[in-house]
Amino acid sequence: MCFLVDSHCHLASLTLEGKGPKSIAEVMARARACGVTHMLSVACTIEDYAKMMQVIAPFDGIYNACGIHPLNLEEAGAWTEEQLAACLTDEKCIALGETGLDFFYAAETREAQLDSFARQIDLANELKKPLIIHARAAHHDTVALMREHNARDCGGVMHCFCDEVEMARECLDLGFFISFSGIATFRAADNVREVLKYVPLDRMMVETDCPYLAPVPVRGVDNEPAFVRYTLEYIADFKGISPKELAKATSANFEQCFKVKLSTPSDENILQKDISTYKLEKIYNKGWPY
């Protein structure tokens, strides 16, 4: 298995918020051309979920997840467990999230965030769905709620991890996986690289979190799943292993975390080629990204 998974992306936001109307079919074709055969597209409210499902419906290899994002509480309104549970019945819906705490951008909604996160951990446990957790400037509260509400039972992933080693250790101890985004490639992100050194190969994933956070060397453009290759190559180099080895590990971790078996790509070439033989630059030169 040498294909690659983008373990966290927002495909609906990519189509709707891009600088120009990006065709999702083109985005998917570019991802495939870079060996990115599978992805997990995440919705941040129940309303978003319905829109996202329409966008991704025609394509293979896309899993989905739904949660109430800590920065979308206002637009999410008074959601109920029944509504969220209904979204999670889709056969390709493999996780509850993203949920979590963000006191960096919205310290003022602290109490509402704590309540929403706690309810979603409880629901994940009830439905036996892994959690996708977003945590920003909220180390201690996040871990405290995870412990108090037994997040260990459902497990899941700390997505776009950008906190310190201590928090990574606590999350690993709770059985969670750690997913790294393009932030790992940013010059100023020494703390994330400390975490990269610490997290073992069998507990990490890679993601774009697109359309945000495009990695170096395409920082500043709209991010998309193909670019997870840059993050993969950066991290593989940093860890002193081959991109193929890291792709294999992160795919296996994705399968383990979300209890899925990744389908074998129908294009046999993808299986035979080394991941690094898919040339990003070849596509890049065709006037992309824009």
List of residues contacting Zn ion (CB under 5 A) = 98, 134, 209
* 95/249 with CB nearer Zn ion: 95
Q: Which SS3 state, helix, strand or coil, does residue 61 take?
A: coil
Cα separation, 288 vs 30, in Å, equals 10
Neighbouring-strand partners of residue 62:
39
Of residues 209 and 222, the one with the C-beta less far from Zn ion: 209
Considering the complex, state which of residue 159 and residue 248 has its C-beta at the smaller distance from Zn ion. Answer: 159
Contact 135, 113 (CB under 8 A): no
Shortest distance in whole angstroms from residue 246 CB to Zn ion: 21
Of 170 and 209, the one with the shorter C-beta distance to Zn ion is 209
Asked if residues 143 and 171 have their Cβ atoms less than 8 Å apart, the reply is yes
Place of tokens 């960096």: 104
Rg (CA), the chain: 18
Cβ proximity to Zn ion: between 10 and 203 the closer is 10
Residue 41 or residue 125: which is nearer to Zn ion going by CB?
41
> Shortest Cβ distance from residue 10 to Zn ion (Å)?
6
Going from the C-alpha of 46 to that of each of 57, 60, 113, 183, the distances in angstroms are 17, 22, 16, 27
d(CA 24, CA 59): 9
Owner of token pair 């294999």: 248
Which one-letter amino acid corresponds to residue 26?
E
CB of 271 to Zn ion, least distance (A): 29
Shortest CB 212 distance to Zn ion, Å: 7
Three-class DSSP labels, 198-213: HCCHHHEEECCCCCCC
Task: Quickly count: other Cβ atoms within 10 Å of residue 4's Cβ.
Answer: 30
Question: Smallest gap, in angstroms, from Cβ of residue 1 to Zn ion?
Answer: 25
The one-character DSSP state at 22 is -
Look at strands 36-43 and 62-66 and give their pairing.
parallel
Report the residue closest to Zn ion, judged by CB: 134
Nearer to Zn ion, 227 or 278 (CB): 227
Helix orientation angle between 228-239 and 190-198, rounded to the nearest 10 degrees: 60
Least Cβ distance, residue 154 to Zn ion (angstroms): 18
Angle at 52 between CA 51 and CA 54, to 5 degrees: 70
Min dist. Cβ of residue 42 to Zn ion (A): 5
Nearer to Zn ion, 231 or 275 (CB): 231
Bond preceding residue 289 cis, omega within 30 of 0: yes
Least Å distance, CB 76 to Zn ion, is 15
